[in-house]
Structure 1
Amino acid sequence: MKLFLTNCLSIGIITIYLMFLSSCGSRRNMVYLQSDSTLIDSRYQQYIPKIQAQDILTIAVTAADPKAVAAFNPVSNVSPTNMTQQVDLALRPTYTVDNNGDITLPILGKIHVAGLSRIEAIEKIRLELTTYIKDPGVNINFNNFRVSVLGEVARPGSFIMPTERVTLLEALGMAGDMTIRGVRNNVLLIREIDGQKTMHRLDMTKQETLNSPYYYLAQNDVIYVEPNKAQINNSKLGANSNIIISVASLLITVISVLTR
């Protein structure tokens, strides 16, 4: 009887040890951008985000004569001279791109900007302004360049980006990085292209991801990090996990006492 209980205890310990090993990930599955023969050629210019319907743009017009641009900056002429940069940005006029891809500017009227990069839109508006202003300057910023990071990350949520030049790694960093339970070789990116949702899988363990057209993010991208098999199996235990652990601990304790 004593030998039987000892064997049971040994089997229990071995089982727990094997379960622990099965939950551990190998280096191959955990390390980002592992060295290989990939030639890195991730040129941002190829993947610059384009303006889309429902984007909110902050547009400021400048010129040597401030009075000449007052009509194009409805709120700038009432701004105090000692304002902070943050207050100045908040007071600048914003424009929502309508479903046809247009914005409506003072005096200039409707201008089609959908499908243009920020730099292309700046140049288009600047050319329109030359009819009214000598050597005008234009600055455009996205007010709602947002990406969402969900799943097995430390801090899931939606994040407003300070610039449109955002990489997948930067977005994961803002979310606190993937947890140890996240699957790094099958990250899902959901992107809207011409009104259609598209889905793309990225392997963050391979350097070739740096060359992907989805490495640089677009506004409203959603990143989802799925849980690994160990996490999925753990979730199956549900509310009974604590009971199972308690019962197992009790059995091991009883066996230990009886085998003394």
Structure 2
Amino acid sequence: MNNRFNYAMKTNLLIGALTLALGVETVSGPTGIAAEPHTKPVLLYSRYYNAEGEHRYLPEGTYKQVIQRLREDFDVRIHNKPLTRDTLADVKLLFIVNPSDKAFGNNPPPPHVSAADINVLSEFVKNGGSLIVSGNQENHNLEVEDMNKLLARFGIQATNLYTDAKKLVLPKETPIIGGLRWAYYTGNLLLLDSASPAKPRALVMNDLNQKPPKGTRDQAGCLLATAEPGKGRVVVVTDSGWLADWAFTEEGIGGVALKGQDNWEMFRRLTRWAAHLPGRPEP
């Protein structure tokens, strides 16, 4: 018995040494023997619906910081390939930002969400994949009509009612992101279908007592919503600029700089919730 125990101990030490040498992260089981290497879930930042030449929210541009930070929890991939069952095969969380309506310059027009896309993405979420879609304000070449056909599957619709940039201190009782400060850089409102089997919920309602520092638009309604169709989860947010480098550094844009914000922590919690990662209470 002692010989077997000594052999097992030597084997475990050898595995540990090799693991350190190779830089492979492992998780030990109850016996102390190294389990399979731990792999991060895949987050795909899809640029498929963004017009060729569109410079907003580029992963090497104004979204550089958020992409870098996401790598702490995810294996981040970035491409503009069509969203098929094959390209989504091992993806856990799909991130779509500011889908484009029209062509940029002399480039070809961007693809819009098609009926085939809706079927693939609905199936993706139903089977356990998760989706985050972020919209924007007007004059940002934002495509709404066809994206709404997809969002309808989750009981959510984007509108053309806008709220100007403002900082929102979220109620402490808000699920997932309660008590955090959201530097919101202008966007539209969401309408939710309470009868939808996807169980859409308003996570952030606009607080009219917290005023925009500039601008007069301040619509009552939902700014951020979630849904849970099937095994997957959906997050829809009506602003994309809140994740830009200039929002994190609080430099702002367009003469508006919202100070004292928790935008990254908000997004970190939302992505972890969407991907079913541990660490925050369920909503």
What TM-score comes out, normalization by structure 1 length? 0.23
What TM-score comes out, normalization by structure 2 length? 0.22
| Higher helix residue share | 1
Q: Which has the larger radius of gyration?
A: 1
